Structure 1
Amino acid sequence: SSPDECIRRSIEFFQAMQKSHGSLKSVGIASFGPVDPNPGSPTFGFVTTTPKPGWAQTDLAGPIGKALGVPIGFDTDVNGAALGEFRWGAAQGLDTFVYITIGTGIGGGAMVGGKLIHGLMHPEMGHVLMKHDRVEDPFEGACPYHKDCLEGLASGPAIEQRWNERAENLPPDHPAWDLEAKYLAHGIVPQIYILSPQRIIMGGGVMDQVHLFPKVRRHVQEILNGYIQAQAILENIDDFIVPPGLGNRAGVLGAIALAQEATGC
């Protein structure tokens, strides 16, 4: 749907909820990015340079907040999912972890020391450039900005364009999956080096292929080659790289957590 239609239908949904359940205190929006999550910025609440057609420079938070008359908690979908997992899912009891989603795009959110990472903007883990062996994989990449970044090589659309078949239709023994796991592992390892997470949570539609998890774990161990002497990686990697505890509800519940934070809850 178009941005205008999406915003209109969202407002109508919440207005209907107000009629049936009473007034809202706040609303949380966990959006695909890139976005501007800085409350002090004139473009706070905007989707910015997204490759999704028609959505670049769209103000999401402004119209919804104005129509409903409530504060808006706003962040990326992956930061929202990370917050949901921190509150109620696979990151409970942790203070430093990474959440990565692999679907129509690839994005990552992270919490360090109990706080979601923000700074210049927010993490863009899906657009790190990759080690790309063009003999092994001649596919040029699907990202309109970088071609063969992680998203360009390992997102759902990249899989479909490379193999001329949707990911969910490829059998578990298809060579696509080992290549996919290798790219995802190369995307994860820098996060291990830089952020030193206690856990990495991998969600999104592509990761519904549960046979991917052992392949990703194996490639991560091979790439690290014993350099990180941590029991979590050497002996307990099944508990280090995991699916979301909240399943496909992580993003929605994360938006609820963002709404709660907007009112100090």
Structure 2
Amino acid sequence: MLGAIEAGGTKFVCAVSDNDLNNINKISIPTTTPEETFSKVFDFFDEYTLDAIGIGSFGPIDINPESDTYGYITSTPKTAWKHTDFIGAIKERYSIPVGWTTDVNAAALGELTKGAALENDSCLYLTVGTGIGGGAVVNGKVLEGFGHPEVGHILVRRHEKDTFEGFCPYHKDCLEGLAAGPAIEQRYNKKAQDLPEDSEAWDIEAYYLAQALVSYTLTLSPEKIILGGGVMKQKQLLPMIREKFAALLNDYVSTPDLEEYIVSPELGDDAGVTGCLLLALEEL
């Protein structure tokens, strides 16, 4: 039996499946303090006999097995979770193999194996919500090096009509600081879902996200880019991003047809937890 923890900044999604990834049970837990959240995670998993757990966590996280802080959440803006030994807490409780990566890497793996990138060997998954994070799979393997990608914090050119200073505590006006959900809310004093479809907010949002996708295309050349997260549930946004992407790239390099290249997740909100179950399976 496999366990999965998709640890997001707003909620933890915990799931249990058999080894064929057939879902047995799944719950959602608010992300509060580590002590309170882990207590509820343990209450859920204690009902099962697990062979392995896969974790996809918000970050930054330490993915270097040689590091003294491997398995930790490190310099996250969520102050209660800074320097939290995530894997240590799980292994102390269950003493089973643990797969470990970022939540967005897990989502990318899920979409590549079971979703929108099923016919591909590489993809990039970007979530646009409370923050902006991205994960990539290249030749069927999650992209990791000394650390993991933090593509939500790249620098972008400012939109000519945008005077918002940015909310990222580290960089102010990086991509996340200008285009994540809180940036929209602070800029207009309204949540994204409460803004009209013809608001200038969406032109600004599409401009920043299209810039980012051009950068990812030029550096990673993925076969598919998948855009998820709460902000991307605005149906008018995806066509605007494709249009601005084409204008910014200006035919410099070839890409697949943009209707097939820049797409929505096929697994919806299950992309991350599916990838976590796959991580657990790999550990076996």
Q: How does 1:10-25 map to 2 (within 5 A)?
A: 10-16=41-47, 18=48, 23-25=49-51
Partner of 1:86: 112
Q: Kindly provide the CA deviation profile for residues 128-176 of structure 1, in whole angstroms up to 9, marking residues without a partner as x.
A: 011114x511100010000000000000011100111001111111110
CA displacement at 1:40 relative to structure 2: 2.9
Distance 2:182 2:242 in 1: 23
Secondary structure of the residue aligned to 2:136 is strand
Partner of 1:152: 177
Q: Kindly provide the CA deviation profile for residues 7-41 of structure 1, in whole angstroms up to 9, marking residues without a partner as x.
A: 1211121002x1xxxx2100111111101122332
Aligned residues between the structures: 253
Q: How does 1:233-244 map to 2 (within 5 A)?
A: 236-244=257-265
Q: How does 1:172-251 map to 2 (within 5 A)?
A: 172-230=197-255, 232=256, 236-251=257-272
Partner of 2:149: 123
Q: Kindly provide the CA deviation profile for residues 90-130 of structure 1, in whole angstroms up to 9, marking residues without a partner as x.
A: 11121121110001000010111221111011000000011
Distance 1:255 1:208 in 2: 23
Partner of 1:140: 165
Secondary structure of the residue aligned to 1:13 is helix
Secondary structure of the residue aligned to 1:131 is coil
Q: TM-score, normalised by structure 1?
A: 0.93
Partner of 2:277: 256
Secondary structure of the residue aligned to 1:122 is coil
CA displacement at 1:229 relative to structure 2: 3.0
Q: Is the 8 A contact 2:112 2:122 kept in 1?
A: no
Distance 2:73 2:251 in 1: 40
Q: Is the 8 A contact 1:7 1:60 kept in 2?
A: no
Partner of 2:103: 77
Q: Which runs of 5+ in 1 are unaligned?
A: none
Structure with bigger helix share is 1
Q: How does 1:34-49 map to 2 (within 5 A)?
A: 34-49=60-75
Partner of 2:23: none
Q: Which moved more, 1:248-257 or 1:143-152?
A: 248-257
Q: Which runs of 5+ in 2 are unaligned?
A: 1-31
Structure with bigger strand share is 2
Distance 2:69 2:42 in 1: 20
Identity of aligned residues (%): 50
What is the CA RMSD across the aligned residues, in angstroms? 1.1
CA displacement at 1:207 relative to structure 2: 0.6
Q: TM-score, normalised by structure 2?
A: 0.87
Q: Which moved more, 1:33-42 or 1:213-222?
A: 33-42
Secondary structure of the residue aligned to 1:258 is helix
Q: Kindly provide the CA deviation profile for residues 41-60 of structure 1, in whole angstroms up to 9, marking residues without a partner as x.
A: 22121111111131111111
Q: Is the 8 A contact 1:102 1:203 kept in 2?
A: yes
Which of residues 44, 66, 80 is equivalent to 2:92?
66
Distance 1:229 1:82 in 2: 22
Secondary structure of the residue aligned to 2:46 is helix
Q: Write out the 4+ residue segments of structure 1 that deviate beyond 4 Å after TM superposition.
A: none
Secondary structure of the residue aligned to 1:54 is helix
